[in-house]
């Protein structure tokens, strides 16, 4: 009787251990929880966007033809890999340079979240969508550390000249990782920051160069898949959430 009890207990232990191992093996590779004590890597980088005259001023700046990403806007959108019906988050959408064009490409069965931390910019995106009769644009007031979107709610995240404005990149990219559904894509465009080549303005405004950005984004769990050679002063990267 005693022997039978010991044998059952032993089998029970083995089963629990085996189940524990299976659970550990099957668990998706979710990155560690947000780094709550991360300090701002670029304090005040977004402060000017909150000035009273910011909407007028930055509509002209962000939509101006002097920007390489404005000059190549259509090719940039073509290279994203959009498919009708996709759910896309335009992260740091600004005044909506790309938001409405992405919305028209994903069609009525698709959806675009225009995410930004500046309420006045979101108003402009809302107006642009209305003027273009687009019903598939939702503006979202994001936060400095998190996307404010639901987990696994997005097929593709698009970040155009936004990464260098993210003050808490480790925490934010972990949040963005969770926002994407497994297998989802992150398209990241940002300024080339090469000493001796980039302008003094870029060298002082943009915190990190491409290799540092790739390392930081990979640290959050993303895998670099490819690079689109399209722009001279910006790089264009495609990452995947495994
Ligand atoms: C240089 S602008 C680029 C805007 C737009 N992507 C474009 O190319 O025209 C950077 C944008 O990132 C936004 N931003 C900064 N931190 C953010 C955050 N944590 N979440 C969402 N947007 C953010 C800023 O408010 C600003 O609109």
Q: pLDDT tens digits for 123-158?
A: 999 999 999 999 999 999 999 999 999 999 999 999
Atom of ligand 1 nearest to the CA of 49: 25
Residue whose entry in the numeric block shows the structure tokens 């936004």:
162
pLDDT given at position 37? 85
User: How do the domains of the chain map onto residue ranges?
Assistant: 44-240
Residue whose entry in the numeric block shows the structure tokens 């993210």:
166
What SS3 string covers 185-225? EEEEEEECCCCCCCCHHHHHHCCCCHHHHHHHHHHCCCEEE
Specify the DSSP element, H or E, that contains 116.
strand 111-116
CATH 3.40.309.10 is right for the domain spanning 44-240: no
Global pTM?
0.88
Residue 197 CA to ligand 1 centre (angstroms):
25
> For residue range 44-69, what is the model confidence (pLDDT) as tens digits?
999 999 999 999 999 999 999 999 99
User: Is 96 near ligand 1, meaning CB less than 6 Å away?
Assistant: no
Residue 228 CB partners (closer than 8 Å, separation 6+) = 79, 236, 237, 238
Q: Please choose from 41, 50, 116, 142 the residue to mutate so as to test ligand 1's pocket, defined by most ligand atoms within 8 A of CB.
A: 116
Residue closest via CA to ligand 1's atom 23 equals 92
User: Is 162 near ligand 1, meaning CB less than 6 Å away?
Assistant: yes
Instruction: State mean pLDDT over 196-205.
Output: 93
pLDDT given at position 36? 61
Length of the chain: 242
């Amino acid at each position: 009787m005693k022997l039978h009890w010991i044998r059952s207990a032993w089998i029970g232990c083995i089963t629990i251990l085996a189940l524990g191992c299976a659970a550990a093996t099957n668990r998706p590779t979710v990155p560690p929880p947000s780094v709550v004590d991360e300090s701002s890597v670029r304090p005040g980088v977004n402060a000017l966007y909150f000035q009273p005259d910011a909407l007028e001023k930055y509509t002209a700046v962000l939509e101006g033809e002097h920007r390489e990403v404005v000059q190549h806007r259509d090719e940039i959108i073509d290279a994203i890999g959009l498919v009708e019906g996709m759910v896309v988050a335009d992260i740091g959408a600004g005044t909506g340079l790309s938001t409405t064009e992405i919305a028209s490409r994903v069609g009525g069965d698709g959806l675009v979240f225009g995410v930004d931390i500046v309420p006045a910019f979101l108003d402009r995106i809302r107006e642009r969508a209305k003027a273009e009769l687009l019903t598939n644009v939702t503006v979202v007031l994001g936060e400095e550390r998190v996307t404010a979107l639901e987990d696994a709610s997005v097929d593709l995240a698009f970040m155009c000249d936004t990464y260098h404005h993210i003050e808490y990149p480790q925490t934010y990219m972990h949040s963005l990782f969770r926002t994407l559904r497994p297998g989802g894509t992150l398209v990241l465009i940002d300024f080339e920051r090469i000493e001796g080549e980039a302008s003094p303005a870029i060298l002082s405004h943009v915190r990190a160069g491409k290799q540092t950005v790739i390392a930081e984004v990979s640290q959050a769990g993303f895998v670099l898949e490819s690079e689109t050679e399209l722009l001279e002063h910006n790089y264009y990267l495609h990452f995947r959430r495994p």
